[in-house]
Amino acid sequence: MADAASLLAPQPHGATGVLVLADGTVLWGRGFGAEGSAVGEVCFNTAMTGYQEVMTDPSYAAQIVTFTFPHIGNVGVNEEDLESHVDGAVGCVVREDVTAPSSFRAQGEFGPWLAKKGKIGLAGIDTRALTRRIRLSGAPNAVIAHAADGRFDLPALLKKAQEWPGLEGMDLARVVTRREVEEWEGGVWTLGKGYARSPHSPRPHVVAMDFGAKDNIFRSLVKAGAQVTVVPGTTPLDGVLALAPDGVFLSNGPGDPAATGSYAVPVIQALLERDIPVFGICLGHQMLALAAGAKTTKMHQGHRGANHPVKRLEDGVVEITSMNHGFAVDNTALPDSVEETHVSLFDGSNCGIAVKGKQAFGVQYHPEASPGPQDSFYLFERFVGMLG
C-alpha cells in the first residue's frame, strides 16, 4: 500500500492517528473523535451517504469501518439519524479531513459527536488501497488509535491486534440487544415533522426479537401496518408466546450466527413447528436458515454498502439493496426444506430463503435501508400481509 509502513518505519510528522493491522502493517493518519485505542475487524462500506446511520448500526459492533466515499462527516450529525443508542462500530477510517457541516439538518459536527460516543476516527488514509487490500486478503484484525500528542506504543497496539480472536465464534448479539421488553411507538419520518407516533388502532401484532436491530426496521413494520413489541434476543420461547404474536420478526445484529444461534435457533425452530409466521433480516435471516437445517460461513470480505444488486429468483427482478454482513448462508448445501429466493449479483452468494411449507422467509440485505435504496420495502408488506 502507498501509505503502509512497518513498525520500524519512522512516524510521519503531524500524525496523531494510526491503524495497526495484525500482520504488522502500520497506516498513519490524522486522528479525530475519541482518543484512545480500539480493536476490531476492518471492513469497508461503499455507501455515499448515511455515515451516521452506519456508525450507529449495532451490526457493526467490534468493527472498524473504512468508508470508500472520500468525503465523510461533511453534513454533520443530528438526533434523527441515529439507528440505535447501543454500541455500533468502534471507529472509522476516511480519506479526507472532516470539514464544517453544510446541511441545514446538522445539529453538530461529526468529530465531536464521535468523541461523545467513544468512537475513534482516522483521516488521511488511502482508503482505496486499504479497500483493495481487504478484497484481496480478507478483512484483517486491527487496532485503531488516536492520541493528540502523537505518542503511540506500536508494539503494544500490534500485540492487541494479534491477540484479538476475531468475529468468528463471537456472540455479539447478547452484548447489543436491549434488556427490557418495549412497546414500539415510533412511526415514519417526514422532513420538518420528525417521527410520527405508531397508530393505536387494532393491527396485526409482531413480536420483534432484537439481536442488534436498527430502529428503522421497527418503523418499517409499523408503516407496513403492524403493531410491534420488541423483546431481547435472549427471550425464551415462553416469553415470546406469552405476548400472543401474530408473527415473529428476527432482527439483524453483529457476530457469528452460529454462536448466537446456540440459544436463538431452538426458539426459532419451535416457532416454525407452531406455524407462526417468521421474517428474518441479516443475522435473523441466517439464524432462520440454521433453524431450517442450513449452514452459515464466514465471508472473505463481506458485503457492506447501499448499492448491492440482488436478483429475485421468482421473476428475475433486480433490487438495489443496502447490505452489512460478514457471514452468509451457504447456498451450496441447502437442505430440501429451504428454497433460495434471492442471490447477490456480485458473487452469487445467498441473499434470501423461504422455508418450504411454512410462512417463513428471510433476506440477507436490509429492506429498511437507512442508509440505502427502498426497492425492497415490499418485504415488510408481504410479511404483515401474512398475519391476517
Beta-strand pair 17-21/360-363: unpaired
Residue type, 104: F
Place 315 in a pLDDT band, splitting at 50, 70 and 90: very high
Residue 202 has a pLDDT of 87
Q: What is the mean pLDDT of the segment spanning 129-134?
A: 97
Residue type, 272: L
Whether the CB-CB separation of 106 and 76 falls below 8 Å is answered with yes
Could you report the per-residue pLDDT of 53-95, keeping only the tens digit for each?
Answer: 999 999 999 999 999 999 999 999 999 999 998 989 999 999 9
Place 122 in a pLDDT band, splitting at 50, 70 and 90: very high
Could you report the per-residue pLDDT of 4-47, keeping only the tens digit for each?
Answer: 677 777 899 999 999 999 999 999 999 999 999 999 999 999 99
Q: What is the mean pLDDT of the segment spanning 205-225?
A: 97
Q: Which of 53, 282, 319, 351 is catalytic?
A: 282
Residue 196 has a pLDDT of 81
Q: Which of 83, 109, 319, 368 is catalytic?
A: 368
pLDDT greater than 60 at residue 365: yes
282 is catalytic: yes
381: alpha, beta or left, given left = phi > 0 and alpha = psi -120 to 50?
alpha
Residue 6 has a pLDDT of 74
pLDDT greater than 60 at residue 3: no
Residue 286 has a pLDDT of 98
What is the pTM (predicted TM-score) of this model? 0.96
Q: Which of 303, 325, 342, 366 is catalytic?
A: 366
Residues 6+ apart with CB under 8 A from 324: 45, 54, 57, 59, 60, 252, 282, 302, 303, 304, 366
Residue 2 has a pLDDT of 40
Residues 6+ apart with CB under 8 A from 272: 278, 291, 292, 355, 358, 360
Residues facing 236 on adjacent strands: none
Average pLDDT in the chain? 95
Residue with cell 453544510: 102
Q: What is the mean pLDDT of the segment spanning 104-122?
A: 97
Nearest to 141 by CA among 123, 153, 159: 159
Q: What is the dihedral of CA 304, 364, 40, 92, to 10 degrees?
A: 30
Domains of the chain and any CATH numbers: 4-163 (3.50.30.20), 173-385 (3.40.50.880)
For residue 196, how many other CB atoms are within 10 A of its CB?
A: 15
pLDDT greater than 80 at residue 217: yes
Whether the CB-CB separation of 93 and 40 falls below 8 Å is answered with no
92 is catalytic: no
Residue 4 has a pLDDT of 63
Nearest to 7 by CA among 16, 18, 132: 18
Alpha carbon separation from 159 to 22, 155, 156 (Å, rounded): 8, 6, 5
Would you give the end-to-end CA distance of the chain in angstroms? 56
Report the percentage of the chain scoring pLDDT > 90: 92
